[in-house]
Structure 1
Amino acid sequence: MTDGEQPADVDPFDLPEWLGGPDVVWESDEGLRTGHLVSGQLRTSGVDRLRCALLAVDEAYPVPVVSDDVRTRAHQAWRHGQVLLVSREGALTLAVPGRRFDADLVLEAIARLAMAVGASSDDWSVLLRIGTARRQ
Structure 2
Amino acid sequence: MQHAALTDIDPFDLPEWLGTSDVVWRADAGLRTGHLVEGRLTAADDPAQEIVCDLLAVDEAYPAPVVDDPTRLRVHQAWRHGQVMVGERGSRLALAVPGTGFGPELVLEALGRLARAVGARPERYAALLRLG
Shorter-chain TM-score: which interval? Answer: over 0.9
CA offset digits 1:9-52 (Å, max 9, x no partner): 10101000000013110010000000000000000131100000
Partner of 2:99 in structure 1?
98
Distance in 2 (CA, whole Å) between partners of 1:28 and 1:76 is 26
Could you tell me the TM-score, scaled by structure 2's length? 0.95
Amino acid at match of 1:38: V
Q: Gaps spanning 5+ residues in structure 1: where? A: 132-136
Partner of 1:20 in structure 2?
19
Distance in 2 (CA, whole Å) between partners of 1:30 and 1:69 is 28
Counting aligned pairs with the same residue, the percent is 58
Distance in 1 (CA, whole Å) between partners of 2:4 and 2:80 is 25
Amino acid at match of 1:84: M
Amino acid at match of 2:119: G
Partner of 1:112 in structure 2?
113
Judged with a 3 Å threshold, the aligned counterparts in structure 2 of structure 1 residues 5 and 127 are, in CA distance, closer, same or farther, namely closer
Q: Gaps spanning 5+ residues in structure 2: where? A: none
Query: SS state of the match for residue 75, structure 1?
Result: helix
1:68-87 matched pairs, under 5 angstroms:
68-87=69-88
Contact 2:5 2:90 in 1 (8 A): no
Question: Runs of 4 or more off by more than 3 Å in structure 1?
Answer: none
Amino acid at match of 1:64: P
Distance in 2 (CA, whole Å) between partners of 1:6 and 1:51 is 17
Amino acid at match of 1:73: R
Partner of 1:134 in structure 2?
none
Partner of 2:55 in structure 1?
54
Distance in 2 (CA, whole Å) between partners of 1:7 and 1:14 is 16
Contact 2:35 2:58 in 1 (8 A): yes
Q: Matched residue pairs, number?
A: 130
Distance in 1 (CA, whole Å) between partners of 2:128 and 2:3 is 32
Distance in 1 (CA, whole Å) between partners of 2:60 and 2:112 is 22
Could you tell me the TM-score, scaled by structure 1's length? 0.92
